[in-house]
């Protein structure tokens, strides 16, 4: 049976001076497909002060994503993997890497800090996801459900640290932003985390599914976090 594979087209635009009063015509600077023979989806994009473009997404393609010598250069294509790509301002791929384990992994958000470190966030079913000791949650907490994840890479594509964020039920991290000190703040949904949030605005979940906001320090340890919600589910 024929199966259509989806690939994402990544296009950069620059605004020109208005050709007509009150209207600006965008001019395409460059564009490229991302992916290969299987399904590929770009989920988020960030640009640093030098104009470098970082994209993250989810793929089943075994080629066309990662570069040789990258953090995770291969995947078997049997499940979804997250990926992270870095492009030059001119649209050339500088490096790319897969990120994932034995089960499905998805990237939902990406951000870059002032020195070029890149954080990606999403959700994973993999109990062998690449996490590091000393982070807020180095061990998988899900029981047949997704955990959220946060992973930090340097400007050359080497992973600095990774952590789960979740509990025994379904969790996901959907967005990330850095503060001026290089600490990532992540937001998502949870049915209860496997670690305490002492002193939080809302230290315990209140509904079947709550929003969450968590600040990590630059090394991936917990700085603070809070649930946010009432006695109903809060789903974006």
In this structure, is the dihedral angle defined by the CA atoms of residues 15, 20, 23 and 25, taken in order, positive or negative?
A: negative
User: What's the predicted TM-score (pTM) here?
Assistant: 0.88
Share in percent of the chain as helix, strand, coil (round to 5): 0, 45, 55
Q: What percent of the chain has pLDDT over 70?
A: 87
Gap between the Cα atoms of 172 and 167, Å rounded: 10
pLDDT for residue 1 is more than 70: no
Q: What's the first-to-final CA gap in the chain, in angstroms?
A: 35
Digit-coded pLDDT (tens) for 113-154? 999 999 999 999 999 999 999 999 999 998 889 999 999 999
Name the residue with tokens 């047949």: 144
pLDDT for residue 218 is more than 80: yes
CB 127 within 8 A of CB 140: yes
Total Cβ atoms within 10 A of residue 234: 18
Q: What is the mean pLDDT of the chain?
A: 90
Go through 91-113 and write b for each residue having 16 or more CB atoms within 10 A of its CB, e for each that does not.
Answer: eeeebbbbbbbebbbbbbbbbbb
pLDDT for residue 233 is more than 60: no
Gap between the Cα atoms of 57 and 98, Å rounded: 10
Give residue 9's pLDDT.
Answer: 62
DSSP 173-222: EEEEEE-TTS-EEEEEEES--SS--TT-SS-S--SSSEEEEEEE-TTS-E
Mean of pLDDT values over 166-175: 96
């Amino acid at each position: 049976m024929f199966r259509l594979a989806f690939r994402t087209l990544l296009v950069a635009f620059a605004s020109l001076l208005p050709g007509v009063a009150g209207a600006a015509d965008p001019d395409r600077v460059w564009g490229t497909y991302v992916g290969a023979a299987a399904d590929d989806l770009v989920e988020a994009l960030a640009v640093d002060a030098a104009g470098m473009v970082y994209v993250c997404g989810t793929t089943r393609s075994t080629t066309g994503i990662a570069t040789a010598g990258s953090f995770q250069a291969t995947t078997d294509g049997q499940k979804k993997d997250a990926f992270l790509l870095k492009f030059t301002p001119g649209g050339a791929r500088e490096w790319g890497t897969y990120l994932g384990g034995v089960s499905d992994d998805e990237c939902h958000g990406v951000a870059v800090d002032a020195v070029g470190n890149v954080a990606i966030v999403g959700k994973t079913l993999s109990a062998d996801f690449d996490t590091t000791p000393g982070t807020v949650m180095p061990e998988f907490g899900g029981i047949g459900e997704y955990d959220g994840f946060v992973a930090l890479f340097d400007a050359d594509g080497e992973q600095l640290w990774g952590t789960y964020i979740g509990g025994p039920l379904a969790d996901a991290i959907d967005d990330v932003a850095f503060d001026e000190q290089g600490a990532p703040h992540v937001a998502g949904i949870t049915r209860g985390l496997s670690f305490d949030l002492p002193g939080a605005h809302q230290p315990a979940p209140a509904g079947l599914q709550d929003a969450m906001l968590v600040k990590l320090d630059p090394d991936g340890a917990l700085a603070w976090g809070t649930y946010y919600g009432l006695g109903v589910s809060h789903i974006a």
